[in-house]
Amino acid sequence: MKTLLITALTFSTILLCADAGAADQPAIAGDDMAYMKQQQRDLALFKSQLQGMNIILPDAQQGRVAQMQNEIAAGQADQNSATRQTPRAVYFVSLGIPEEGLLPMLSDARRFGIPATLRGLLNNDFRQTAEKMFELSKKDRQAGVQIDPTLFQQYG
C-alpha cells in the first residue's frame, strides 16, 4: 500500500512538472517576427499580382480538370434525377416533440428503413437545429433526420 502511494505521488509530481514546462510559451525573436511579417507582405503582394490574371494550365492538366468537372456534373445529375429511388414511406417528425417520444420514433423509422423528415429548421436557425440533433445523437448515435419542405408541400 505504501509503495502504491509513493508511486502515485511520484507520478503526479512528474505530471505537474511536465504540465508546468508545457505551459511556457516560446518567445519569438525579433528577427523571426520581422521575417514572418516580410513573408506576409510578400504573400499579399503576390496575391495582388495574380488578381485578374488568366492562368492557362498545360493540356494534360486542363484535360484532367475537365474530366473531373464532368464527373461531378454527372454525379449531381444522378442525385437530382427522377430515376432516383423514392422511399415507399416518409415519416414526418418535429424537433418540438419531447426527446422521450422523438428518440423512439427516430429509432423505429431507422429500423423500418423509413426516412425521418423535418419540414424545416428549428426556429428557422441552422445552428439551433444542429445543436438539437447533436444533443439527440449523444443519446442515440444513429439518430438522424432529413430536412425536406417539398415533401410537406406534396403530402401535407
**Is 69 inside a domain boundary?**
no
Q: Which residue did the predictor score with more confidence, 87 or 50?
A: 50
Helix (H, G, I), strand (E, B) or coil at 102: helix
Q: Is residue 150, in this structure, part of any structural domain at all?
A: yes
Residue 120 falls inside a structural domain: yes
SS3 of residue 24 by DSSP: coil
48-55 average pLDDT score: 83
Show Cβ contacts of residue 115 under 8 Å, excluding neighbours closer than 6 positions: 87, 90, 91, 109, 145, 146
For residue 109, being part of any structural domain is answered with yes
Query: 82-110: per-residue pLDDT in tens?
Result: 565 666 788 899 888 998 999 999 999 88
**pLDDT at 22 exceeding the cut of 70:** no
Residue 5 counted as domain residue:
no
The whole-number pLDDT of residue 25 equals: 58
Gap between the Cα atoms of 13 and 19, Å rounded: 10
Mean pLDDT for 110-129 is: 89
Structural domain includes residue 139: yes
Residue 14 covered by a domain: no
Domain residues for 98? 91-155
Calculate mean pLDDT across residues 73-83: 70
Residue 154: in which H helix or E strand, if any? Answer: helix 149-155
Residue 81: DSSP 8-state: S
Q: What is the pTM of this model?
A: 0.43
Q: Is pLDDT above 90 for 40?
A: yes
Nearest to 95 by CA among 55, 122, 117: 122
Task: Flag whether 60 is in a domain.
Answer: no
pLDDT at 122: 87
* 156 vs 149: CA distance, rounded Å: 10
Number of domains present in the structure of the chain:
1
* % pLDDT > 70, the chain: 81
What is the per-residue pLDDT for 19?
A: 55
